[in-house]
Structure 1
Amino acid sequence: PIGRMEVLKWINKFCKTDYLKIEELCDGVAFCRLFSKLLPGKINMRRLNTKARYKDDNIRNLAILSELFHRCKIPREVPEKKIANGKFQDNYEFALWCIRYIHKHPELSK
């Protein structure tokens, strides 16, 4: 298992972000950045609300990620509402899944 600080450090390094807590990933921006780097041109980052403050904004950002997963046949449902709530466990589990997915598909991260 990977600890929360390692997860956060990995995401911040990969996405060039500065999240301080796992719960902050609830805005969906980092997850979208991860997959934007993996699949260039497949996600319109201008559609994201990078200053999302409310759950509805988070859900809209995560819906963009969900659309990408569907289009690219990534076999995972994005639990938009759970992640958007900002609870540690939901964000941590999804972040771990993202990291594992990237490591299992090294051809995507070139």
Structure 2
Amino acid sequence: MTASRTDLLQWLNELLQINYTKVEQCGSGGAYCQILDSIYGDLPMIRVKMNAKHEYEYVGNYKIMQNVFKAKKIDKPIPVEKLVKCKMQDNLEFLQWMKRFWDQNYGGQGYDAVARRKGVALEAPATVAPITTSRSTTNPGLAATAGRAGGRTPISGYRSGSAQPNEAIQALQAQLKEMSTHLEGLEKERDFYFEKLRDIEILVQQQVEALEADGKDDATLRDIQKILYSTEEGFEVPEGTTVDEEETF
């Protein structure tokens, strides 16, 4: 029988000594990696980001999983693009498969999940995009300050010794720090996907050049190049133009 969400979460939390409340939280990939580690005991857990907060970190965890699947000859596709979106149904189906695989392959040996994580304290992953858009929720001091904007008290009319201006500054500083952290994460994610596109560009170019050397052509490869080199205005690199290796698109 297929395990329910409640049963799966209970099993997962007991096995890994975590406190997940939703199946969607498995979408970060860390829990899936450690389930495999409980079976084989040889995953590079030091490289697994159990507290991953950004999609590029999720993808990194799944790369580790894919390497394990390949090394152990596990014939099961990993739908990474779906899982990283932290949707309930996709992660429920994959976690059900992981539970069946664990039941069939776990040898009953003891497993110290916390020790394998080097004692890293776990925060349950978010099931939505990590960027917070509500300032009133993140920084209540700002909300309180904003609420007084239309009042009768002038900006400079606060009582002597009031802590409100200091609280507002601290709230703004906290917001700035949070935004900087999110920006850094977005930049890393941008660079991660840019490198993927760059690898595709080079591979396609090599294939096109090899075909040209044999007097052949491939329409699909040409179409891929047009997509890679197109811009928002619809401009496309003319056929026969070689893109310099240092150029970006």
Q: Does 1:12 align with 2:13?
A: yes
Equivalent pair of 1:63/1:80 in contact (CA under 8 Å): no
> How many percent identity over aligned positions?
26
- 1:21-59 per-position Cα deviation (integer Å, ceiling 9, x unaligned): 100011111111111111012x10111122211111111
- What stretches of structure 2 of length at least 5 have no aligned partner? 110-249
Larger RCO, structure (CA 8 Å, separation 6 or more): 1
Q: What is the deviation of 1:104?
A: 2.0
2:46 equivalent to 1:46 = yes
* Structure of larger gyration radius: 2
Task: Tell me the C-alpha RMSD between the 2 structures.
Answer: 1.2
Q: Which stretch shifts more, 13-22 or 98-107?
A: 98-107
Contact 2:39 2:105 in 1 (8 A): no
CA deviations 1:52-76 (Å, max 9, x no partner) are: 1111111111111111011111111
Q: Which has the higher helix share?
A: 1
**1:15-94 correspondence runs (5 A):** 15-41=16-42, 43-94=43-94
Q: 1:90 Cα shift?
A: 0.9
Gaps of at least 5 residues in structure 1 are: none
Aligned residues: 108
Alpha-carbon distance between aligned partners in 2 of 1:6 and 1:19, rounded to the nearest angstrom: 12
How high is the TM-score relative to the length of structure 2? Answer: 0.42
Q: Does the CA-based 8 Å contact 1:17-1:30 persist in structure 2?
A: no
2:157 match = none
